[in-house]
Amino acid sequence: MAILQLTDEQVLELVKQLPATRQQDLLRSLLSRQWPAWAALSAEGAAGARAAAAQRGRNWDAMTEQQREDFIDDLVHEDRACST
């Protein structure tokens, strides 16, 4: 059996030629292979955010999305005080 060697760009161009339903099938297949690693990383990040908030007297789960973003921004820029 002959092996066809393609560049990444060639593979992407071939995928673009697939019908939309086959592209969706391919995407689902690729995501299902990566999902466990992403889910584990996401859970680890959420646990870390909750712990960081608790250490600073905050409740991550009670925060709004904007409060969470502000809190993370404050953590990244530790040289300034955290907002309430």
Is residue 14 scored above 60 in pLDDT? yes
Residue 75 lies in a domain: yes
Residue 41 CA to residue 18 CA, distance in Å, equals 31
Residue 60 lies in a domain: yes
Total number of domains in the chain = 1
Report pLDDT for 83.
58
Expressed as residue numbers, the domain containing 58 is 31-84
Residue 52 lies in a domain: yes
Report pLDDT for 34.
84
Neighbouring residues of 23: CB distance < 8 A, sequence distance ≥ 6: 15, 16
Tell me the average pLDDT across 23-37.
89
Is residue 36 scored above 80 in pLDDT? yes
Is residue 29 scored above 60 in pLDDT? yes
Residue 66 lies in a domain: yes
Tell me the average pLDDT across 36-49.
89
Block residue for tokens 């292979």: 33
Block residue for tokens 């339903």: 21
Neighbouring residues of 15: CB distance < 8 A, sequence distance ≥ 6: 23, 26
